[in-house]
Amino acid sequence: MTTQDAGPVDEGPVEGGLDEPTELEPSQGTLELADAGDSWELSDWEAETAKVLRKSGRLGADDPDAAVWDKLTRRTLDGIAVTPLGRAADLENRTTAGRPTRVGAWDIRSQVGLDDPKATHDAALAELEGGATSLWLVADGASGAPEVATALTDVLLDLAPVVLESRGDAIALAQAFLAYADERGLDPHPGSNLGADPVGAALRAERDPAIGEELAAVARLAADHGILGVVVDATVVHDRGASDVQELGYATALGAAYLRALTDAGLELAQAAALVEFRFAATGEQFPTIAKLRAARRLWARVLELSGAAESDRIQRQHAVTSRPMLSAYDPYVNMLRTTVAAFAAGVGGADAVTVLPFDSPLGRSESFGRRIARNVSHLLIEESRVAQVTDPAGGAYAVERLTDELAVAGWEELGRVEESGGVVAALTDASFWDRVAEVVARRDQQVAQRKRPITGLSEFPDAAETRLVRESDPLQPPVRRYGAAFEALRDEPRGSVFLASMGTVAAHTARVTFASNLFAAGGIAVTYPGPLPDVDAVLAAYDGRPVVCLAGSDAAYAEWGRELVAALREAGAQHVILAGKPGELDVDDSCAMGVDALAFLNRTREVSA
């Protein structure tokens, strides 16, 4: 089973081929409103939108109205356009396969660790009694029958699915689970999964990946007991910085590799495919997450089709987990918002099971409050917002359908690159896959550094006086490189201070004072704000002798008395003068404005202000 001559994911034509996303073409079609007698041309929408952008300064007076498309369209890290408005023309010559198949509510899956069996038992019961509908049991290499029996005592295994994840001996863990179920005389719920994922487990443990005999052994145990046996965990590469397309390519390639191994071991194709569940990350980027889950189903269906599977067997079971890298250890309560958006997107995207990670999980072992909030996110979406009432809420939405198609095509291309390397294990071993991931990581890091991908509470609007939450360490927490890691490192070691020369009235300087204060706080740099200072003498009177001073005022104030103030501050002992805004003709040492490489700027400032 290869992708060398497979062509596009579906046999129907894809607009623009497989080379790159189709470019936007403004001013096509009409917008039909609720009143059938009231319609507007798309150019009218462009005109009204352009007015708003001109008022905010994002569009010039001489720019054409159609420029709103360029201003409002953003591109993912894979270069795929996310448009501000979907149009019927977006679906011309596109394939809309991959729509959700889940009917009704998704499975609310809570993760518990097996490092302390008694604590796991208490946590598992609390999760199930609090509304979780399944458990995701993570174990290290030392876990076996006694630990499993202790942890799952009182858990009704025939009613609550249990999904295993072993960081060590997957066969031993699977046997221990099944032996305990037999001892209690219970048939595990059909949704239970013995969780064999040898490649993912190796990557988590930073070992060389290999499939080996473990996969088939666990799969046979699962088949004999009428449950699932294999997990393709794409969050492993997501946690290392992979893009959506790379996550799709990895998952599809690994799923295909597992199918080959299982069929080579004697299982029928349909039987092997029915044992597999896929795990994807759900991020706070709502529409890409919805489209990614839809695209993943389309890709897997294509692989099964090429493998000769019957149409009724081309199903992908999906478990979505809120992204670990998107979370922040600082101002962690904002993580509740991030995970809520991610869970919504996972549900709308059709995930069969959703795990919302607790808001305090980046800090270590989550406490009961964080776990309760995590469960309740799904309950609120299902029971109050009724998100699960419609099988495919995004179905027919032009922008989502277009994004799904482009992600699927790009994911298929990534699958081809992996296969050209000799398969997923070879691509991971020779680092060709990781080299592509490193390119994405570099792009993301640059956007985070420039705050084009702002992280609220960390790179934007940080609380310099925050009292950090403290949690005990979690030995089973996987290694994750959080998107805000560089900013967190600065906050972990506060350094230096800056005197703010707040020029003029509050109304005149507040915008730049706020900008500069937030920026310095994001780098762990203390700020002294003396209040409004009307002239040079007032600034000098308030100046406390700190070596670093930042001027913050209006352009008019800079032009009127900025040069004089810089000279006076240097004479008073200032060694490093920064300007909040574009430096212009002022004799300053550094400046900060929108779009600045914040990390580079903050590191420079920390060096001179220590």
pLDDT in tens, 445-458: 999 999 999 999 99
CA 578 from chain centre, in angstroms, equals 35
pLDDT of residue 23: 40
Contacts of 121 (CB under 8 A, 6+ apart): 150, 151, 152, 153, 154
User: Are the C-beta atoms of 112 and 366 separated by less than 8 Å?
Assistant: no
Same fold, 107-420 and 493-609: no
Q: What tokens appear for 497 in the block? A: 């201070």
pLDDT of residue 140: 85
Please tell me the distance from the alpha carbon of residue 306 to that of residue 508, in angstroms, as a whole number: 66
Please tell me the distance from the alpha carbon of residue 284 to that of residue 216, in angstroms, as a whole number: 36
pLDDT of residue 29: 53
Examine the pLDDT at 15 and tell me if it is beyond 70.
no
Please tell me the distance from the alpha carbon of residue 327 to that of residue 281, in angstroms, as a whole number: 12
Q: What is the mean pLDDT of residues 329-346?
A: 98
Q: What tokens appear for 314 in the block? A: 């081309």
User: Are the C-beta atoms of 590 and 605 separated by less than 8 Å?
Assistant: yes
pLDDT of residue 35: 66
Sign for the CA dihedral angle at 596, 600, 602, 608 comes to negative
Contacts of 207 (CB under 8 A, 6+ apart): none
pLDDT band at residue 442, thresholds of 50, 70 and 90?
Answer: very high
pLDDT band at residue 20, thresholds of 50, 70 and 90?
Answer: very low
The terminus-to-terminus CA distance of the chain in angstroms comes to 60
Examine the pLDDT at 14 and tell me if it is beyond 50.
no
User: Are the C-beta atoms of 194 and 177 separated by less than 8 Å?
Assistant: yes
pLDDT band at residue 92, thresholds of 50, 70 and 90?
Answer: confident
Examine the pLDDT at 3 and tell me if it is beyond 80.
no
Examine the pLDDT at 219 and tell me if it is beyond 80.
yes
What are the residue boundaries of the structural domains of the chain, listed by start? 107-420, 493-609
More confident residue, 1 or 492: 492
Work out the mean pLDDT of the chain and round it to a whole number.
Answer: 92
pLDDT band at residue 89, thresholds of 50, 70 and 90?
Answer: confident
The per-residue pLDDT for range 36-81, each reduced to its tens digit, is 666 778 899 999 999 999 998 899 999 999 999 999 999 999 999 9
CA-based max dimension of the chain = 87
Examine the pLDDT at 12 and tell me if it is beyond 60.
no
Examine the pLDDT at 19 and tell me if it is beyond 60.
no
Examine the pLDDT at 21 and tell me if it is beyond 50.
no
The per-residue pLDDT for range 356-381, each reduced to its tens digit, is 999 999 999 999 999 999 999 999 99
Burial letters 531-569, b for 16+ CB under 10 A, else e? ebbeebebbeebbeebbbbbbbbbeebbeebbeebbebb
Examine the pLDDT at 32 and tell me if it is beyond 80.
no
SS3 of 166, please?
strand
The per-residue pLDDT for range 255-266, each reduced to its tens digit, is 999 999 999 999
Examine the pLDDT at 26 and tell me if it is beyond 60.
no
Query: Which CATH number fits the domain 493-609, given the four candidates 3.40.50.280, 1.10.569.10, 3.30.1360.70, 2.170.190.11?
Result: 3.40.50.280
Examine the pLDDT at 7 and tell me if it is beyond 50.
no
Q: How far is CA 125 from CA 117, 174, 365, 376, in A?
A: 12, 21, 17, 16
pLDDT of residue 173: 95
The predicted model scores a pTM of: 0.90
Query: Which CATH number fits the domain 107-420, given the four candidates 3.20.20.240, 1.10.10.60, 3.90.550.10, 3.40.50.300?
Result: 3.20.20.240
SS3 of 500, please?
strand
What is the H or E stretch that residue 274 is in? Answer: none
pLDDT band at residue 8, thresholds of 50, 70 and 90?
Answer: very low
pLDDT of residue 144: 74
pLDDT of residue 440: 98
